[in-house]
Structure 1
């Protein structure tokens, strides 16, 4: 079996993750996390919350997973949240056109190609349907919107959608959230929650699914004033795979310090660089193998229209590089969109250090003229006149001024506009904050951690599979065993297990089978330590470490303190 097949088999057998609704044949793209997987997922989320919410001093929210259609009209998801679909002419199966290209050619980022070029590549390489082998050349590639549609309430009067990302639940609540932040920039808002995408062809276990968990941070900044504490990550080294390097098929990621990458212009935005530094340390913390990790810069064709620069965190799994997270500078795109489509205020008032006297152009249109003359367009004309005054004062120098409303031009006599330029003293200004977004896939992080932790060796002549999980994220921290079922050992072992639980440690108790078999079970699910009670009259127990299988004797009276120190990293097993 391949490494992936080994891991997926272990994941199902040991309760990490498996396809959902198996009793009814299963549903592609939906997975259930078993007892081990749910615990690992929770621990990964907790470390992310610790680093990106608590340590950064950010706020956290938990928004609904369904939002009305108007939210996604404003965000642009209704028009532009698409994947490329091609349908087989013989079997009728639908496939991701870009995936077919990537799986059968040397092209790595077919998603960044426009649809006409994708159609040309399918024809050029004579690509076929993965299900039945029928040729796909000449087939139309279409844009397929990935959102799940629903109705809010009875009937179809209020359409809604399952959110395709958690971010919009933060953006749409900005008018309220800024109050909680006391209208002070910069401030960040995090959210960990489910998102939904109706993938054309879910595949590769947890890597391409229809329901998944995201951990996202939206940082709101004043682009003219706010800068990150780059010194905090300046010396962090990270493997960077820039857009320029991707032009060379033989090039690999190169190690840079974050400071050097900013100074040399490899990373264009300091905020993005700051979060790359934090993210690299966090991925290392949860157990991603840093020898199989990199940050890849988006190619020009991949960039969202609002993003000047974007990088992905990627990990190598079974020979392929998979995306784990994205880091983007989103400018004021999101808040401006919601401001345009809603009736709320998505700006924030920033105070000047000292009051400033400035010239302001204003208009006071004569509505008694505009109303009878232009009817329902009058209000839009008045608004357009003020917008023009802010942009171009010279437009009001003539006898009339022209504005455009909803694609139609209107000429208004200047005498009815009441244009003036006045000096005013201002204590501050309203700005639309810009957004910096690190967005993490929790399921993909879990999948990568399990893959990178999967290890094989031989113990006492016997083959062993084990998960070398970091103690901080391992689903179970310690297994407690009685050596035999004699002399009251099971009862005493259960008491020890409860004492460890009372100390906040995750514990499993096992008295089934030989001690060697019990060790193997815990090794395979990634439990870092096992404690065996053997009835020693001196009141000691044996602690066994998973990776090395080394053992140490510890007084039972000290057991809680020793294991707690090992859990927090205040001690290592070598100390004992």
Structure 2
């Protein structure tokens, strides 16, 4: 940053919120994120301050712009006022002092395609045994997938009941009973589903099931009565699976 320039508090506030969004919501690693200030020769003539948001993307070879924070001053309304001949000032009273001014504009600009590409670049991996899309659970198209281990001995009925209960609670869930359990896990890993729920023979006896984490591929046994609360916590707080039971 240019230390000689005094950045307005509202501008710094929005820069902080943008950074919080990328690091805490999108889970972008801090080392891959930066702001880059554009000088007078680079920025648009109407921008007094202009910082680009850049991410270091392996597929594109370097840091690339995915958005920007632009302080446009009163250029927009000032131009409209000049062209229309109508006053576009606002009046405020601060402790008995009346002030008139033309409102200034802070513009936040983000490219949807660029940011989607960034998520693919950072979180999509082709490993030896599987393809993994490990983006944040808050962004996954599916909250969970439900599998019957086999299609016999009341396990499908039990599994469908679990699926139905989750759906009624507002979860976006997918039911898959085709192919081996390993193939079903791989299909969900590829599209980014964070949690897979498997119903097996022990589920019928013990009213529990297996919960599998996408990234680590580790599993725990969990009582069915605790499933909804556990899924909510895993999705919203992104906690490790072993907070809810021992790995098996």
Partners in 1 of 2:120 and 2:170 — Cα distance?
A: 24
Offset of 1:558 from its aligned partner?
1.2
Q: Does 1:296 align with 2:22?
A: no
After superposition, the C-alpha distances for 1:356-381 in whole angstroms (9 at most, x for unaligned) are xxxxxxxxxxxxxxxxxxxxxxxxxx
Q: Structure 2 length normalisation: TM-score?
A: 0.88
**How many angstroms apart in 1 are the aligned matches of 2:139 and 2:99?**
46
Which residue number in structure 2 is paired with residue 542 of structure 1?
210
For the residues of structure 2 that align with 1:302 and 1:560, how far apart are their CA atoms?
51
Choose the corresponding residue for 1:278, options 5, 14, 17: 17
Count of equivalent residues: 239
Aligned partner (choices 324, 329, 338) of residue 80 of structure 2: 338
TM-score, length-normalised on structure 1? 0.39
Q: Residue 567 of structure 1: CA displacement? A: 1.3
- 2:50 corresponding residue in structure 1: 310
- Deviation readout 1:306-331 (Å, 9 max, x if unpaired): 22221000112221322111111111
* Counterparts in 2 of 1:294 and 1:486: CA distance versus 1, 3 Å: same
- Residue deviations 1:214-257, cap 9 Å, x none? xxxxxxxxxxxxxxxxxxxxxxxxxxxx58xxxxxxxxxxxxxx
- Within 5 A, what are the aligned runs for 1:13-412? 264-265=3-4, 268-284=7-23, 285-317=25-57, 318=59, 319-342=61-84, 345-354=87-96
Q: Kindly indicate whether the alpha-carbon contact (under 8 Å) linking 1:314 and 1:323 is maintained by their aligned counterparts in 2.
A: yes
SS of aligned partner of 1:315 = strand
- Equivalent position to 2:139, from 451, 473, 483: 473
C-alpha separation between the residues in 1 aligned to 2:62 and 2:114?
Answer: 13
Question: 1:436 aligned to 76, 89, 106, which one?
Answer: 106
Q: Distance in 2 between matches of 1:278 and 1:266?
A: 21
How far does residue 475 in structure 1 lie from its aligned partner after superposition? 1.2
1:573 paired residue among 220, 223, 241 = 241
Deviation at 1:265, TM superposition (A): 4.4
Paired position in structure 2 for 1:63? none
Query: Following TM superposition, by how much is the alpha carbon of 1:267 offset from its aligned partner in structure 2, in angstroms?
Result: 7.1
Computed over aligned residues only, the root mean square deviation of the Cα atoms, in angstroms, reads 2.1
Q: Which residue of 2 aligns with 1:559?
A: 227
Give the secondary-structure state (helix, strand or coil) at the position aligned to 2:159.
Answer: helix
CA contact (8 A) 2:67 2:108 kept: yes
**2: distance between equivalents of 1:430 and 1:272?**
21
1:351–1:489 distance in 2 versus 1, CA, 3 Å: same
**In the aligned structure 2, how far is the partner of 1:303 from the partner of 1:515?**
54
Q: Specify every segment of 5 or more residues in structure 1 that has no aligned partner in the other structure, as ranges.
A: 1-241, 244-263, 356-427
Map 1:507-546 → 2, pairs under 5 A: 507-536=173-202, 537-546=205-214
How much has 1:466 moved relative to structure 2?
Answer: 0.1
Over 3 Å counting, the alpha-carbon distance change for 1:267 and 1:491 in structure 2 is farther
- What does residue 454 of structure 1 align with? 124
Structure 2 gap ranges (5+): none
Larger Rg: 1
